[in-house]
Structure formats: C-alpha cells, structure tokens
Chains A and B, each alone.
Chain A
Amino acid sequence: MVTNVTSFGRSGLYDWVVQRFTAVYLAIYFIGVLGFLALTPELNFATWSALFSATWMRIASLAALVAICAHAWIGLWTVATDYLTTDLLGGAATVIRIGFQSICVIVMFIYLVWGIQILWGV
C-alpha cells in the first residue's frame, strides 16, 4: 500500500473519515456561534464573557479548534501535494512543499496554544 508520510493519518481512508467528522462538527459549531451572534441584538461584555467562560463552551470551542487543526492539515496536505509538485515547480518542489507544510503545522500549534490561553483566561 502506498502511504504518504506528510498526510494526517498516513492513510487516505482515515483522512477521508476525519475530514468528514471534523467538517460536520465545525459546521454545527459555527452555525451555533453565528446564530448566537445574529440572535443577540445588543451583545455586551457580560453576556459574551459568560458564554465563553462556561465549561461546556470551553469544551466545545477547544474541540472546534482541534477539529480545525485536523481538518486544515488534511485540506492543506491535499492542496500542497496537488499544486506544489515537480511538474509545476521543478526539482525544488519537495523542499518547498515540506517547508509550506511545516509552516502550516507550526501555525496550527500556535492557534491551538493561543486558543487554550484565550479560553481559559476568561
């Protein structure tokens, strides 16, 4: 079986499932947050901070952040392996792609730690 060392789950089938589970969760989370914002006419600090300091919202938001990282890893891997290729970029393509993916992973880690700090700092 051909595997790719820079994909998320090292297996296309596993990535496929993770991509869909995280997609459904993120859809629910963002529709919920956008719905809350749209249906709260005069949003103030008290309501806003009460929402994000609730334990269930911390759990839901951290789960969303983890889901974003997994979903983005798979999506950006797909984009990188489709467009940052030797066909398009020549011999340096692999180095460029690994560099791009490394930056993406670092950004994901920053988002994750920063997000935890924001959520538990409320």
Chain B
Amino acid sequence: MYSMHQETILPAQVTQAGIASVIKQIGGFTTDHPPKTRPLAPHGKIDSVNDKRPKNLDLSTIRFPLPAITSILHRISGVFIFAGVGVVLWLLNESLSSQDGFARTLQWLDMPLVKLLVWAIVAGLLYHLVAGIKHLVMDMGIGETLSGAQSGARLVLVVSIILIALAGVWLW
C-alpha cells in the first residue's frame, strides 16, 4: 500500500516516510493512514503524541448505532448465560437425581422468581443464538455493507424478540 503513496511524497519526507513504512511492513501490519499524512517524530517513527487525528474511546460519550447495540447485547447476553450455566446445571442435577428430585425441580420451576430467572436465561440464550447466526452469515460475506449491517441488526432484534416472547408463552 505504501509504495503507491511514496511516489507522491515530498523529497524532504521521503527518507522518514520510507523508514516508517519499512518499520511498519516488517512489523507485519498495515494501516489506512499512510505515514505521509501523520506527523513523524525525529527518530522517524509516527509521532502519536502530536498526531491530531480525533480519537475517542470513551464509550459513555458515543451514540451507539443499532448494529453497535446488537453487538453489545451479544456480549452482555454471553456473559449472562455463562453465569446462567450454573443455574442450568443445578436444575439438571436436581431433576436427574431421583423421582423426588424431578418433582422438586418442577415445583421450583413453578415459583415465579425461578421461572423468571429461567426465562431470562433462555432469553439470553435465544438472543445470543440469533445474533451469533447473524455473525456467521456476515462471515460468509452477506450483509457486510452499512445498510446490510443495519437491516441485519434490525432483523436480529425482531427475530429474537419474537422467539423470547414465544419462550415466555411456552413457560407460563
């Protein structure tokens, strides 16, 4: 990528940009910002201290577009169902322990708070599943454009809300 840009660099910057380019290429990664557009420190590397490109990593000040919301929900549901595995194993253990244990599990599941917790775990699982399927579809190169990502995110929300509602109907 850089070799294309180096043709147009001013002579005074050629050496510095060339060194930076070689350093980057040896390092094995590329960037969308060719060295000529970024300030160079005296040692020839990119001067990140005086780099004026805007950078904001403060998540609390960023307005999230829909695909970002579905992405963060994918993460939150993932962390949540990891904890939920403990609850599921506990229920599985109780239900398989004996005839009485199985009856006790059904009684537990009839308690509103336990039922709500199980629904929350199933909901997290269903959302994580739907968002995960969207991930795999995008891995195949489908829906990778800006508009594709937005309609994909909408589809994930609609499908998972329907499935979560159905799971609620099924449980109650």
Contact = CB atoms under 8 A, between A and B. Distances in A.
Interface stretch (B13-21, B35-43, B78-86): B78-86
A27 B96 contact: no
Q: What is the predominant secondary structure among interface residues of chain A facing chain B?
A: helix
B91 to A, nearest CB: 10
B79 A76 contact: yes
Contacts of B148: none
Interface residues of B, number: 27
B170 interface: yes
Q: What is the predominant secondary structure among interface residues of chain B facing chain A?
A: helix
B82 A27 contact: no
Contact of B89 (A52, A78, A118): A118
Contacts of B170: 38
Interface in B90-105: 92-93, 95-99, 102-103
A23 B85 CA distance: 15
Contact of A107 (B86, B97, B99, B129): B86
Interface of A: 1, 20, 23-24, 27, 30-31, 34, 38, 44-45, 48-49, 52, 68, 72, 75-76, 78-79, 87, 104, 107, 111, 114-115, 118, 121-122
Interface of B: 28, 57, 75, 78-79, 82, 85-86, 89, 92-93, 95-99, 102-103, 122, 125, 129, 132-133, 135-136, 139, 170
